[in-house]
Structure 1
Amino acid sequence: MNRVLIPLTMAQPPTIPADAHIAGLAGASMGTTWSVKLVLPAGIFAEQIQSGVQQRLDQVVSQMSTWLDSSDLSRFNRAQSGSWHVLPEEFFKVLDYACYVAQQSNGAYDPTVGPLVNLWGFGPDGPGSACGDMPTAEDISAALERKGWTRLRLDRLQRRAFQPGGIYVDLSSIAKGYGVDHVAEYLQQQGVQSYLVEVGGELRGYGSKPDGDPWWVALEQPLPSAAEQAGDTAVPAFPPTIVALHELSIATSGDYRRFFDIDGKRYAHTIDPRTGYPVPHALASVAVLHASCMIADALATALTVLGVEEGMQYARQHDIAALFVSRSEAGFEEKMSPACKAMLE
């Protein structure tokens, strides 16, 4: 039997005509896929919305991708030491919030983690361990010397960022979530009153379907490892959880999305900026629910780095709706933050 989460602040969704139909759109961006389900307004064609959604996501890539040499972010990362740079509005907004989460989490989240991401083979600048090579302690120490969000300086009045020299910003842990919000904003500007946006597994919904139901979405469950699949305890001991996505977003961070194994040990793509190593604890996934997918995306990464105990304390302190799933000898175990439990129907 499913568990149901309902947003506590959910307003009455707009009324959708019973004879309206749902259109489905899809494409590719940010090294992954995107999809949109929506109720098309009168006079608006699916092809028009498809083009607009792709343009919005292409804009995020052109500003914030480390994989694109010509992006605004790549140019900032290559910039001369001691230089100030006026950033596009969207880029600045994302970087500003990333630095806020870094400050709030005492560096468990750090947008300047890029050198470590590359070193471990999860970025564009080298094969690293994702191809089977373990970084040396010396390599990790050198990469740690290059990071540090406190070295970034932001000028909010002029929308500028300061490159102190050698700083390599990586916004992969927040840009997808922002892309979802950016698309949702576009849809609302077009008069769309009901939609479900998904980019690489991060989602945001608004309104209801023609039958009156909200956009129901199941929270991602972590995948068991090969060893767990071979045993008898790999199946989660908790029921599936579905969420009514009206004025709500979901972002999930998990060790099963991108990882590699060396000598039977799993190394996930989430790097702890404080140590320079992939997070070592048994946390398999963290799902965060928030009105903003950008915020949910960044918080899911921060809570993954913090782990269950510190992460739960942080979630309580900041009233974050989060679901933690950990691996144990008995299989998967979960813990809900108080804000998440309060949404249970």
Structure 2
Amino acid sequence: MKRSSSAPSPVIIGDPVANDFGENRVLIPPVEGGPERPPSDMVWSLDGLSMGTSWQVRFVPPPASDLQTFRAAIEAELDTVIALFSPWVDHSEISRFNNADTGFVPLSEQFWSLLTASLDLADDVNGAVDPTLGALVDLWGFGPQGPRPSLLPVPSETDIAEALKVSGWNRLRLNRDERSALQAGNMKLDFSGIAKGHAVDRISDLLTRLGATSHLVEIGGELKGRGVKPDAQPWWVEIETVENSPAPRTVCALYDLAVATSGDWRKTFSHNGQNYSHTIDGSTGYPVNNGVAQVTVFEASAMCADALATALTVLGPYDGLDLARAMNLCAHFLIRTADGLREAYTPAYAAMMDDEATASPDQ
């Protein structure tokens, strides 16, 4: 996947301002029992570019480890993700499906696993996150064909209607016995609402297999932390936010927890003075424009956090918040109003707030 000039800046890892902790909002997840001892007293860092954005990893290696072995393993895993799920790569598995003739297309076990997980999530949120919207993503200039030329008008209702005919998670037919999906003609899969979170989970699992059971993984702003550092501190991260947000600076202890953020400001284009977000509402075929500026979701799985942040953005400030409460999600909303931004959050988010914190976490 190529790098986008509008890709978000990396999330700040650690607490860069040690003297204003009392003004921060501190989020601490519920913990049962004490953490496992990290495998060593070292903390190593790696970073790079992949999937059109940046990645960074901090981890506690087991004794007698080699840094380059970890880098090679991480880069190989990310290359695998691209080979499976990147529509920007001509010979990736997703590109082969999207360009296939009509008929059932056999799928690899890894591709099948993410596709069915995406469809299950789509079912849970009634299509608010949908892996079949590739035709609409392309139409609006957010796919591998690149941005819409600035001199072109926005897509017409006819263009959108045609793209909608080949979109919709409930239109995709699966043959579970043969592990294949039906290409009904011009349907295009797109995992942009779930791929980064899935990649974070994969890198986290890889590090665990290599013995680095305490680590923090970040890809394009989606994060997952496991275990604690050698000083027994959790992995502290600062949550990115919209300019002029009414919420205070927020730091979170990512202890066996992932976080993902979706926002209408991250990746946009403008036409005739109106901004269009990269998040597409599959029920209308248009980019979302419902007043939700940003949604942040905390979940055990980065893939689920990624997908649910997108889904709640699509559902909007009322239905999205109602669903988040009903699902007992830990979610935070920033909503645009005539009086400026306002915040709203679920009881599960409020339960993570630590109003009694008085000391800054170590970086």
TM-score by length of 1: 0.91
In 1, the alpha carbon distance for the partners of 2:94 and 2:283 equals: 23
* 2:199 paired with 1:179: yes
Q: Are positions 1:216 and 2:225 aligned together?
A: no
Q: Secondary structure of the residue that 2:130 maps to in structure 1?
A: coil
Residue 38 (structure 1) aligned to one of 56, 59, 78 = 59
Amino acid across the alignment from 2:35: P
Q: Map 1:1-345; keep pairs closer than 5 Å.
A: 1-9=23-31, 11-16=33-38, 20-85=41-106, 87-128=107-148, 133-223=153-243, 235-345=244-354
**Gapped runs of 5+ residues in structure 1?**
224-234
Mapped to 1, the partners of 2:57 and 2:146 lie a distance apart of 33
Bigger mean CA deviation after superposition, 198-207 or 136-145: 136-145
Q: Is the 8 A contact 2:193 2:306 kept in 1?
A: yes
Supply the AA of the counterpart residue of 2:161: S
Alpha-carbon distance, 1:201 to partner? 0.7
Is the Cα contact below 8 Å between 2:201 and 2:302 reproduced in 1?
yes
Cα distance change on mapping 1:84 and 1:46 into 2, 3 Å: same
Q: Could you tell me how far apart the structure 2 residues matched to 1:39 and 1:276 are?
A: 45
Match of 1:227 in 2: none
What is the CA–CA distance in structure 1 between the aligned matches of 2:169 and 2:75, rounded to whole Å? Answer: 31
Shift of 1:152: 1.3
Q: Which moved more, 1:193-202 or 1:334-343?
A: 334-343
Contact 2:150 2:271 in 1 (8 A): no
C-alpha contact (below 8 Å) 1:323/1:337 kept by paired residues: yes
1:127 Cα deviation after fit: 3.2
Number of residue-to-residue matches in the alignment:
332
User: Structure 1 residues 257, 129: CA separation in 2 closer, same or farther (over 3 Å shift)?
Assistant: farther
Deviations along 1:88-118, whole A, 9 cap, x unmatched?
Answer: 2222221111111221222222111111111
Counterpart-to-counterpart distance in 1, 2:224 and 2:302: 6
Give the CA deviation at 1:129: 6.2
